[in-house]
Amino acid sequence: MAFLELSGLIKRFGTVAAVDGLDLAVERGEFVSLLGPSGCGKTTTLHMIAGFVEPNAGRIAVDGRDMAAVPPNRRNIGIVFQSYALFPHMTVAENVGFGLEMRAVAEAERRARIADALDLVRLGELSQRFPRQLSGGQQQRVALARALVIRPDLLLLDEPLSNLDAKLREEMRVEIRLIQRQVGITTILVTHDQAEALVMSDRIAVMERGRIVQIGRPVDAYENPANAFVSTFLGRANLIRAEVVGRQGRRLRVSAGSVEFEAEGEAPDGPVTVSIRPERIGFVEIGGIEARVKVGLFMGEHWLYRLDSPLGELTLCQPNTGALPIADGQAVRVAWSADNARVLHG
Amino acid sequence: MAERSPTSHSLTPYGLSAPAFIVCAVFLAAPLIMVLALSFNTFTMATGIQPGFRLDNYIEVLTDDYFHLIFARTFGMALLIALIAALIGTPEAYILHRMAPAWRSAFLLVILGPLLVSVLVRTLGWAVLLGRNGIVNSALVALGLADRPVEFMYTMTGVIVALVHVLVPFHVLAVWASLRRLDPAVEAAGLSLGASQFTVLRRIVVPQIMPGILSGSLIVFTLAASAFATPSIIGGRRLKVVAVTAYDEFLNSQNWPLGAAIVTVLLVATVVIVLAYNRAVERRYAQVFQ
């Protein structure tokens, strides 16, 4: 039995189902991300786990215990909010200690645990500051310490990094992941940032319109997207409308316009969508298909080329090796291996 | 590209604020100065107002027990009204804050209602309600809560009820403004850390809206201390407050200089109280709220 179990969760706001039959099982100590665009129901799901929103139907169980009748203040869940929601009139130490105070932890133990929690997030020396006197990254750490110090059964992170600048965000991704491993706490992260989900999670649950459309390890979800939505939301993808014209096991022969090529997957004969990641397409001297570079965009560690091809516009990503880039307007040939062309359902 | 001369540029703000400055100077500063000047004149029944610069009026106001009583009554009443308005208005503002937007607009109108009615109409309405044979007394007697009509008219209770009614909206608005600056997630954070709804209110919400509560109380206090129509109609002449006393000196006794001195003392006392209170509040919340 999984540590956190969500089964058949439904939440309607008026006539709109924000969460529409959601099932999820999270193992103890696991880090699972709910990834999806805004309005996909991920935050509502988090709020239902926390107890702030009551589901219309379905069951939430933590460690086998049904949470339906448990009010939010008895759930023993640590939450880090997007705005951090620190108490501005309390010092850092008072903020972190608030949950312990509510649990009537004795003064001496409280002080020790506050110090431990602040050490964990490397903020020990700022304990007497007020939140306003801290930077965004420091406030974020206080919020994390405040959520962890109560030794919650579950840690919920609600878009915790979206208010930080890009550089700090990358650092905090790693740091939160390391702290989570060190503490070993079961964690649910809600995010719309695919890079965040890929870096931090043990498993990613991609959500669309109130449901989980795919759940799996980041690398599996990236390599084998369940549908076109997942393939474009998790990383970039070239989506090609094609027709299945032949097959040999999982290796399908598809035709798109004037081009025929091989792709991997399962689908009945007829129209399909083929997804090819930009970094899996390469320039070749001979073979492949003809294309023309529309524009080359310099991204630092790689080049992104937009190509006109018989398959429509293709995006191609090449690591920046220091070689001269290909000029706009140049005729090129591009190819990919059949393994990297994925036939998608739907 | 037109080059703007630095002189004309630096004069623009003065030019733009000139109309407001002139209005303030003509309609606020000038009358105040005239009242101040008047307060140093003298008055006798026989001679009328005599120009001069004498402190007689101030000495009278500051030493006479009659005026001491009136000032004490006025400020005591204003303090009590501010307290009651805070106790009613703060929860009211919080409930308003938690309402669904559609209901909130409707109830905001109800709360602001008293301010939309002319002070005289509103006060006379209260007089009708609170009179010996008024609705409130009829109801109390009918319900058996009182065996004979309770005296509201010409009592402190009546004045306080009527003034609280009209001044509560100011407190609600002040608190509501600070509630709107509150991050809605802090209440959720408090709950998730194990605090009960009541503890969240007491430990997290109230401390953060304290500046709003305190400034609301200050507004209510100053308006109550300078109220005229309500105390004069409902309190009558037995329960004189400072504003009514000044009015009587001007219009009944014709002793304008004494009336001017009373008004000046009221103004100075109120300003001193407001400044002292503000300083205390700012010092108390300096580190937390900038």
**Is B129 a residue whose pLDDT tops 80?**
yes
Q: Which residues 205-244 on chain B approach chain A with CB closer than 8 angstroms?
A: 207-208
Interface test with B, best of A73, A80, A100 (most B CBs within 10 A): A73
Kindly report the backbone phi and psi dihedral angles of residue B2, in degrees, each rounded to the nearest multiple of 5, phi listed first. Answer: -75, 130
Is 0.95 topped by the overall pTM?
A: no
**Is B153 a residue whose pLDDT tops 90?**
no
Q: Is residue B99 part of a domain?
A: yes
What's the burial of A40, exposed, middle or buried (CB within 10 Å: 0-12/13-18/19+)? buried
Q: Is residue B203 part of a domain?
A: yes
Confidence at residue B8, expressed as pLDDT on a 0 to 100 scale:
58
Q: Is residue B91 part of a domain?
A: yes
Q: Is residue B8 part of a domain?
A: no
The CATH number that applies at residue B147 is: 1.10.3720.10
Kindly report the backbone phi and psi dihedral angles of residue A54, in degrees, each rounded to the nearest multiple of 5, phi listed first. Answer: -95, 130
> B128 is written with which tokens?
């009708």
Quick one: pLDDT band at residue B144, thresholds 50, 70, 90?
A: confident
Return the SS3 of A123.
coil
Among residues A153, A154, A94, A99, which one has the least CA distance to residue A128?
A94
Mean local confidence (pLDDT), B276-289: 78
Q: Each residue of A201-222: pLDDT tens digit?
A: 999 999 999 999 999 999 999 9
- Judge whether B161 and B194 are in contact, CB under 8 Å: no
Among residues B257, B255, B277, B275, which one has the least CA distance to residue B267?
B275
Spatial strand order of the sheet with A4-13 comes to A16-26, A4-13, A57-62, A65-66
Q: Each residue of A80-107: pLDDT tens digit?
A: 999 999 999 999 999 999 999 999 999 9
Q: Is residue B42 part of a domain?
A: no
Check residues B111 and A23 and name the one with the higher pLDDT.
A23
> B169 is written with which tokens?
């909206």
- Judge whether A243 and A254 are in contact, CB under 8 Å: yes
**Is A346 a residue whose pLDDT tops 90?**
no
What is the Cα–Cα distance from B208 to A95, expressed in whole angstroms? Answer: 14
Confidence at residue B49, expressed as pLDDT on a 0 to 100 scale:
85
Q: Each residue of A271-296: pLDDT tens digit?
A: 899 999 999 999 998 888 999 999 99
Mean local confidence (pLDDT), A314-335: 91
* Chain A, nearest residue to B285 by Cα: A89
Quick one: pLDDT band at residue B3, thresholds 50, 70, 90?
A: low
Q: Each residue of B184-202: pLDDT tens digit?
A: 899 999 999 999 999 999 9
Whether chain A has a CB inside 8 Å of the CB on B290: the answer is: yes
Whether chain A has a CB inside 8 Å of the CB on B195: the answer is: yes
Average model confidence (pLDDT) across chain B: 89
Average model confidence (pLDDT) across chain A: 93
Q: Is residue B85 part of a domain?
A: yes
Domain that holds residue B187: 54-288
Min Cα separation A102/chain B (Å): 6
**Which residue do the tokens 């964690």 mark?**
A187
**Which residues lie closer than 8 Å to A30 by C-beta, 6 or more apart?**
A3, A186, A187, A202, A203
With b meaning 16 or more CB within 10 Å and e meaning fewer, what string describes A156-174?
A: bbbbbbeebeeebbeebbe
Confidence at residue B159, expressed as pLDDT on a 0 to 100 scale:
93
**Is A186 a residue whose pLDDT tops 70?**
yes
Of the listed ranges A136-140, A305-309, B40-44, the one predicted with least confidence: B40-44
Residue B23 to residues A266, B30, B35, B36, B38, Cα–Cα distance (Å): 82, 10, 18, 19, 22
**Which residues lie closer than 8 Å to A243 by C-beta, 6 or more apart?**
A254, A255, A256, A270, A271, A272
Q: Say yes or no for a CB contact (<8 Å) between A130 and B189.
A: no
Domain boundaries, chain A: 4-230, 236-344
Of B183, B185, B196, the CB nearest to A73: B196
What's the burial of B108, exposed, middle or buried (CB within 10 Å: 0-12/13-18/19+)? middle
**Is B243 a residue whose pLDDT tops 50?**
yes
**Which residue do the tokens 């003065």 mark?**
B14
Q: Is residue B40 part of a domain?
A: no
| Residues of B with Cβ-Cβ distance to A76 under 8 angstroms | 194
Q: Say yes or no for a CB contact (<8 Å) between A87 and B189.
A: yes
What's the CATH code, domain A4-230? Answer: 3.40.50.300
- Judge whether A290 and A333 are in contact, CB under 8 Å: yes
Our count of domains for chain B comes to: 1
Quick one: pLDDT band at residue B1, thresholds 50, 70, 90?
A: very low
Confidence at residue B81, expressed as pLDDT on a 0 to 100 scale:
97
**Is A244 a residue whose pLDDT tops 60?**
yes
| Residues of A with Cβ-Cβ distance to B185 under 8 angstroms | 81-83, 85
Mean local confidence (pLDDT), B261-284: 91
Whether chain A has a CB inside 8 Å of the CB on B194: the answer is: yes
**Is A248 a residue whose pLDDT tops 50?**
yes
Confidence at residue B69, expressed as pLDDT on a 0 to 100 scale:
94
Residue B276 to residues A170, B190, B222, B269, B271, Cα–Cα distance (Å): 49, 34, 13, 11, 8
Helices B156-180, B101-116: inter-axial angle, 10-degree rounding: 140
Q: Give me the interface pTM, i.e. the ipTM.
A: 0.85
- For the CA atoms of B163, B165, B170, B173, the dihedral, rounded to the nearest 10 degrees, stands at 170
Confidence at residue B11, expressed as pLDDT on a 0 to 100 scale:
87
What is the Cα–Cα distance from A192 to A228, expressed in whole angstroms? Answer: 17
Q: Each residue of B51-85: pLDDT tens digit?
A: 888 898 999 999 999 999 999 999 999 999 999 99
Q: Of the ranges A177-186, B5-14, B274-283, which is most confident?
A: A177-186
Q: Is residue B172 part of a domain?
A: yes
Q: Each residue of A107-142: pLDDT tens digit?
A: 999 999 999 999 999 998 999 999 999 999 999 999
- Sign for the CA dihedral angle at B139, B144, B149, B152 comes to negative
